[in-house]
Structure 1
Amino acid sequence: MNISTDLLERVRTTLAAHGAEPTAARVAAVLRADGHLFGDSTVLAVMEALRRDALGAGPLDGLLTEPGITDILVNGPNEVFIDRGSGLERISLPTGDEAAVRRLATRLAAAAGRRLDDATPYVDVRLPDGTRFHAVLSPIAAPGTCLSLRIPSRKIFTLDELVAAGSLPAGGAPLLRDLLLARVAFLISGGTGTGKTTLLNSLLSLADPDDRLVLVEDAGELHPDHPHVIRLEARPPNVEGAGEISLRDLVRQALRMRPDRLVVGEVRGAEVVDLLSALNTGHEGGCGTVHANSAADIPARLEALGALAGLTREAIHSQISSALQAVIHLTRGPTGVRRIAEIRAVTRTPTGQAVTIPAIEFTPTGPPRFHPGATLFTHHLAGAA
């Protein structure tokens, strides 16, 4: 039932003035005093809307639990877009005026222990239910306060289910399974929303049940179906600028926790140096994800991240070529369909530069196509046999 914003605001203001909780009896009394008679269904709808405004995600609450939605975007008052897996679509959902959107943003930030106001007009946090929440207040953002919510997958997909969904050709599933079981060190690359975390969850779920998986993440999104998982999650600084725990700190701690597989949920900074060092010192089968436009760009991307830690170009390329064996790249088509595009092998040129070369190419239809780089995987698989 749609309740007008004006009615909700009048009830909210009256209850707040008396310091009263929005119970059914109190809401009904306020509605009567407002000069209107409403049925029980309206009273309950107003009470539920007030509860969502006070404790939930307000008008977005229902979207957070709707199956299939991965992203919710609010571009100011009454401008709401969602992604059900086929690209962004605008929906008709009243959010209230700018003050209401701003109030929702500040309350969600507070629920995650962060401040959002004119002095700190943007925030990037994880909500208690695991949703990734980002907000920028107006007037920094136009046409109004902007919210971005990334909803974690509630389901861990198997490789067979990815095949059924069209994300992976049937012949690709055994190839990925063999690479994982051979303890090949790999990165999953792709743009935002291409399914990197989904694929990594699927692959880690196939790891040997006796393996101890230590996951290091900026925000807890990985939940593989595996019996022995340890999760370490970074923490941003508080409002005083203290208390930060970085991914690099956690990677170093993870190395002391006897991991059979070290996993960095998303490589985005100086922690790449510690990850590559770990993979070069006996921690086989490590993996993670990284944002990149193509698998060919991975060495340059890691070079830029290594520079943040003060590593020279020669040193980072030496680490890359020794530590990584494969890059699995994902794309997202114009229709929003996510799929695994290719696997590249990591090798080194005579000049010492790390490069990726085509190994296995996946097409929407037809069997995988093998390229010269696939022979390097044959070597890895033979060595692990």
Structure 2
Amino acid sequence: MILTDELLARVHESLREEPGTIDARRISRIAQAHGLILDRAGLLELTDQVRHHLEGLGPLHTLAAEGVSDILVNPDGSVWVDSAHGLERTDLTLSASEARALATRLASLGNRRLDDAMPWADAQLPGNLRFHGMLPPLSAGGASISLRRAAALPFSLKALEASGTLTPSGRALVEAIIHARLSFLVSGGTGSGKTTLLGAMLGAVDPRERVIIVEDATELRPAHPHVVHLQARHANAEGMGEINLATLIRQCLRMRPDRIVVGECRGEDIRELLQALNTGHEGGCGTLHANTAADVPARLEALGALAGLDPLALASQALSAITVVLHMHRSPDGRALSTIALLQRGGDGRLECVPAVSFGARERRFPAFDALEARLTQGGAL
């Protein structure tokens, strides 16, 4: 059964005249008025299509399969998906009007405005979906849609080892970092598996600990019995009501956290996180975009500059707040933990990231591994 524009328009008209749920009875009545006589299977299929077009992902809903992490609609209407196999183009193509209508509806579904006056939107959608949309002329040629789909069930460290994301020794070190309550950052590029690893690590935290997670949009869903989620709020159409990550980090200090987690450090909130971790809150963590572990200090300095911290002040704050960097790498073979490194002060007084152990075709240990081992032993994890 193919859903036609005329039939969809009649559904819209019906909903305007009689607001309510989209059920088989309503669709049957509209279909009969449209000259369609359907059997039960056809009616259920058509009802499902209408629901997806009006309440879900519309023409993209069949792409939201298990293992697909991203669904992307380009301005030319081409649709791509990202999975363990990498980016792949699908057979689906959206017209300019279809893409724009879908983008504006998804933004509305996430209580965001997307129109010519506000031509971009970022929203959290039902079903663990993160939406970003952009309209012309900012998106030249047509609407751009980016959908990131979080895993339905959180991964465990055991599952990450089984998938090859962690080696057996890498998993042992990651578990030791958690049990020693070392503060850490998970770094990596977009889609490298930072959030997946962090969520699995939080799932290994002692169940007696209270974990407070601060995020721009809820993506971390660790398998832990005591998690409190705090989510930032964007400004409304009038530019009012924004509550940013820095504010939420300050609030969580008053909520008796055992571990403070920031889903992604991306601005002046780095100052609040470092200050929070310097007030006796061990085992705090977060993720950070960086191409390599060695690039983490430069990334932290850039974020610190947004918060008014010079490189030396940033180094002093970071060294007493964060011990370990876990770097994730994505290759054609998949996502994997590539490096565990330590933050330290360089000869010029600025921050530097020194590798302790790397994973790949073979495991390689560096001189800093002794210092990592000492910290883990001191924390009672080894």
2:340 is the alignment partner of 1:337? no
Residues 134 and 147 of structure 1 are in contact (CA less than 8 Å); yes or no, is this contact kept in structure 2? yes
Identity over the aligned pairs, expressed in percent?
A: 45
Residues 27 and 46 of structure 1 are in contact (CA less than 8 Å); yes or no, is this contact kept in structure 2? no
Residues 10 and 30 of structure 2 are in contact (CA less than 8 Å); yes or no, is this contact kept in structure 1? no
For 1:67-146, list aligned pairs within 5 A: 67-76=66-75, 78-95=77-94, 97-146=95-144
For 1:82-231, list aligned pairs within 5 A: 82-95=81-94, 97-231=95-229
Displacement after TM superposition at 1:102 (Å): 1.1
2:2 is the alignment partner of 1:24? no
Match of 2:369 among 362, 367, 374: 374
**Counterpart Cα distance in 2 of 1:50 and 1:290:** 40
Residue type of the alignment partner of 2:329: T
Displacement after TM superposition at 1:84 (Å): 2.0
Render the CA deviation track for 1:253-278: whole Å, top value 9, x for unaligned. Answer: 11111211111110001111111112
**Counterpart Cα distance in 1 of 2:76 and 2:345:** 52
Render the CA deviation track for 1:277-309: whole Å, top value 9, x for unaligned. Answer: 122221111110000011111111111111111
Residue type of the alignment partner of 2:338: A
Q: 1:16 to 1:370 in 2, by over 3 A?
A: closer
Residues 78 and 92 of structure 1 are in contact (CA less than 8 Å); yes or no, is this contact kept in structure 2? no
**Which residue of the partner structure matches residue 55 of structure 2?**
55
Task: Count matched residues.
Answer: 373
**Which residue of the partner structure matches residue 13 of structure 1?**
9
What TM-score results when the alignment is normalised by the length of structure 2? Answer: 0.92
Residues 344 and 353 of structure 2 are in contact (CA less than 8 Å); yes or no, is this contact kept in structure 1? yes
Residues 8 and 46 of structure 1 are in contact (CA less than 8 Å); yes or no, is this contact kept in structure 2? no
Look up the SS of the partner of 1:306 in the other structure: helix
For 1:183-332, list aligned pairs within 5 A: 183-332=181-330
Displacement after TM superposition at 1:69 (Å): 0.9
Gaps of 5+ in 1: none
What TM-score results when the alignment is normalised by the length of structure 1? Answer: 0.91
> Please, what is the CA RMSD of the aligned residues?
1.9
Gaps of 5+ in 2: none
Q: 1:291 to 1:40 in 2, by over 3 A?
A: same
Render the CA deviation track for 1:140-182: whole Å, top value 9, x for unaligned. Answer: 2133211100001112212221111111112211111111111
Q: 1:287 to 1:14 in 2, by over 3 A?
A: closer
Render the CA deviation track for 1:321-347: whole Å, top value 9, x for unaligned. Answer: 2221110000101x2610110111111
**Counterpart Cα distance in 2 of 1:72 and 1:38:** 32
